[in-house]
Structure formats: C-alpha cells, structure tokens
Amino acid sequence: MPAHAGPSFSSTPGSHAPSRPSFSRGGSRPAFSRGGKPSHGGSRGRGAPKGQHIDVSRFINKAVITESAPTYQPAHAFADFNIDPRLKHNIASKGYAFPTPIQDKAIPHILHGSDVVGIANTGTGKTAAFLIPLINKFLHDPHASALIMAPTRELAVQIEEEFKMFTAGMRLHSALCIGGANISQQLRNLRYHNHLVIGTPGRLKDLIDRKALKLDRTQSVVLDEADRMLDMGFIKPITDIMSLLPKPRHTLFFSATMSREIEGLIKQFLNEPVSISVKTKETAESVEQDIIRVGSGSKIDMLHDLLNQPGFDRVLIFGRTKHGVEKLSKVLEQRGFKAASIHGNKSQSQRQRALDGFKRGDTTILVATDVAARGLDISGVSHVINYDIPSTYEDYVHRIGRTGRGGKTGKAFTFVD
C-alpha cells in the first residue's frame, strides 16, 4: 500500500541551544567546528565490538530524483481483483486504488492458491500482499484459519493492526501471540476460533508446547521477514512449527534477501512456489546518506547540534546496545528534547507506548536498537541517525529504510570515528 506521510511535528530543542554545525554539500561530509568534553551521553561504543568492517563510503549517497526514473504501471487496480466486495470497500475507504508492485504481482497468485516466494525491499507493502488474499479466503470460508510468523513483536503488532483495518465490520478474529506481553490473555484468546494467529516464533512454540495453540486445521502459513527470523536464531522454532502444520497447505514466504539458508527453507516447506522479486537497489534512491566524523569532538554535543537543525521533525536514532540506547534517550530528554526509547529490556507495553507516542508526534525522537530496524511502518520519518555503526551493511540498509518512504525523500547520517 502506498504509505501516507504523517503530519510534521516540530522538535523541541534544549533551552541553551549550541551553535549549529555547518554542512558542505555534494558528496559531502558534515563539518563540525564544535569541540568539547568527551561524550557523556549514549553509547559511543569505544569498547564495544564493531562487527564486520564496513567501508564508510557506503554510507554516503546523494539522493537524486530524476524525471526519467521509471514509474511502475500496475497491471491491476484493487477493484480488478477477484475479492469480496466488502474487502474492496474497506480498501477503497482507505484511499487505496492501485497496488504496489509486490501486491500487484503476488495477490493474483495467492488468490489462485499457489505457494509464493516474495522478495522485496522493506516498506514495499508486503503485509497487504498476503493479508488481502487471506482475508478473502476467510470471508468465503468462515472455518478457514492461517498462521503468520514475524521476527519482532513490533512487526507482529503492525500486521494485526493492518488486519483489523482491512476487516472492519466483518466479524473476523485474530490472536496476537508475542513475547513480553501477558501470556494469560493470549491463552484466553486462543480458546476461541481465530481466523488469524500472528506471532513471534518463540512465543508461538511456547503456546504450542502448552497445547494452547493447535495447528492441525491451519490451512495457510506466512513467514514474514524470513531472513530476519533466521538472523535472530529462530530456525529451530520455525522448523518445529512448520512440521506441525497439515499437508497440503498454502505457504507464503516473504523476505528482503535470499541466502542459502533461505533457499533451504523454501525447498523444505514450499510446493512449486511462484517466485516474485521486485527488489530494487540495496538502499533507496530517495534517502540521502552522509557521515559525521567524530574525531576528538564530543559525540553527544554533535548530535545535539544536529538535532537543532531545521527539518529534523521526526527522527529515528539507532544505537548498538540496550543500555546505550536507554542512556542516550535520557540524556536527550535532560537536554530538552522530546525523546523516547525502545529496546529489548522494555516490556511490550512500554515499547508500544513509545512507538505510539512517536507516531502521534508526542515525542519527536525515538532511540532504538535494531529491534526497530525492520518491518516498522512509521509515516513521516524525516531522518535516521546511526549513532552507533550497525554490525552489518544489511542492518544499515534496513535502518535507513525507515525514512524516504511513500514517495518522500529522507536523510540518513552515520557517526564514524
């Protein structure tokens, strides 16, 4: 689905704003004249592992929007798809007329019942590509059910929110099964028939072991962000869960990348799948990328100066560690910024409150570990700042993919020593 840009919100700088850094444009590296004491906020990561070596020149890219850039012409409108009129109505009521490339190419095959492997960049509308056909199936067969596995709690929550949006007024039910949330409530929800169960692999496996989640009548399964689930070590619970599903089944597999491990899963669990790839460049052309040399300066002061620049309306800052992210968020709050944090040490309700506040504009800065780097669809993110260098270039790609969405341009800055 095309993303809708959210409203613009003004950041609230500290009461004693330092001088603004100056930038030299065009293949540029921002030049900061400010010196100062060593950083006392956030996680600079001097003693932390750096991960793989990444050539910092890969963090520099001038966003260029040219008139000759090809525009995708969808083969269908949503009104053309052979889906229930109630579903068409809900799609149209949200202002969606034409599908994104992955939706345009995947939805007809999924409606036909084919297994599908979809390879597409983050933020391309993969969620709707599998939800719309599944909802159509539920409307035609009230006893049908499906399981969706997602790598993070936030992505699972987002999928359920989108499901509820598309199914308004349809009496279709879902259960959200994620770690960090009250398992008692999840156990109660699973006593009833749910058309859709959405969850993270670890919590799903726990509920299966408790005999609360039974999969013997689940006809469809979706593995969303499969590459991320493998990166996070979920291969064992995924294979255990897949082995419990009946055959034949309808299997849908979505990933941003393809690897030998991914190919192995596809061969093991999918039956003559249709492969669809709409993956474009590694990083979006719409994201202008640059680096900030720290040198002997104060990293937190440089960040402070940067955040005081005009246009930093909704900013995602990524750090390496949970402790560093929490510390940086508190330091920014002390300096007068409206900041919040999400990381693995926070409960699901705390993380969701921070995300909701960021989406509403109650906070203008969200400091996060890589738990937020994939799958989240947050409208109107003006800037992504890598306060700590990511462990891999793939993580970098997913971090900066949070900006420059829905036809908008965005900016990404990476602090380097």
Question: Using an 8 Å Cβ cutoff, are 250 and 387 in contact?
Answer: no
User: Is-contact 249 242, C-beta < 8 A?
Assistant: no
What architecture (CATH level 2) is domain 78-277?
Answer: 3-Layer(aba) Sandwich (3.40)
Q: What is the Cα–Cα distance from 136 to 299, expressed in whole angstroms?
A: 52
Per-residue pLDDT, 279: 64
Tokens representing 256 are 């941003």
pLDDT value at residue 281: 54
Alpha-carbon distance of 231 to 228, in angstroms, equals: 5
Chain centroid, CA 87 distance in Å: 25
The residues, ordered by sequence, that sit 6+ positions from 10 with a Cβ below 8 Å of its Cβ are: 313, 364
* Cα–Cα distance, 55 to 68 (Å, whole number): 30
Q: Are 150 and 159 in contact (CB under 8 A)?
A: yes
Residue 291 tokens read as 């680096």
Which residue, among 308, 277, 319, 316, has the nearest Cα to 403 in the 3D structure? 316
The pLDDT of residue 61: 66
- How many angstroms separate the CA atoms of 303 and 317, rounded? 10
Domains 56-66+285-416 and 78-277 share a fold: yes
Q: How far apart are CA 31 and CA 19, in angstroms?
A: 13
Structure tokens, 5? 């840009």
- Residue ranges per domain, the chain? 56-66+285-416, 78-277
> What string of pLDDT tens digits covers the 417 residues of the chain?
443 333 222 333 333 333 334 333 333 333 333 333 333 333 333 333 444 566 666 777 654 443 344 567 888 999 999 999 999 999 999 989 999 999 999 999 999 999 999 998 767 889 999 999 999 999 999 999 999 999 988 899 999 999 999 999 999 999 999 988 889 999 999 999 999 999 999 999 999 999 999 999 999 999 999 988 988 889 999 999 999 999 999 999 998 888 888 899 999 999 999 999 986 555 556 788 998 988 887 999 999 999 999 999 999 999 999 999 999 999 999 999 999 999 888 887 888 899 899 989 999 999 999 876 565 678 889 999 999 998 888 788 888 888 887 667 889 999 988
**pLDDT the model gives residue 22:** 37
Taking every pair of Cα atoms in the chain, the longest distance, rounded to a whole number of angstroms, is: 66
3-state SS string over the chain? CCCCCCCCCCCCCCCCCCCCCECCCCCCCCECCCCCCCCCCCCCCCCCCCCCCCCHHHHCECCCCCCCCCCCCCCCCHHHCCCCHHHHHHHHHCCCCCCCHHHHHHHHHHHHCCCEEEECCCCCCHHHHHHHHHHHHHHHCCCCCEEEECCCHHHHHHHHHHHHHHCCCCCCCEEEECCCCCHHHHHHHCCCCCCEEEECHHHHHHHHHCCCCCCCCCCEEEECCHHHHHHCCCHHHHHHHHHHCCCCCEEEEEECCCCHHHHHHHHHHCCCCEEEECCCCCCCCCEEEEEEECCCCCHHHHHHHHHCCCCCCCEEEECCCHHHHHHHHHHHHHCCCCEEEECCCCCHHHHHHHHHHHHHCCCCEEEECHHHCCCCCCCCCCEEEECCCCCCHHHHHHHHCCCCCCCCCEEEEEEEC
- Partner residues linked to 276 by β-bridges: 118
Task: Tell me how crowded residue 134 is: count the other CB atoms within 10 A of its CB.
Answer: 25
- Beta-carbon contacts of 315 under 8 Å, excluding residues fewer than 6 positions away, are 11, 307, 364, 365, 366, 381, 382, 383, 384, 385
- List 220's β-bridge partners, or say none: 146, 250
- Residue 21 to residue 32: CA distance in whole angstroms: 5
CATH class for the region spanning 56-66+285-416: alpha beta
pLDDT of residue 305: 93
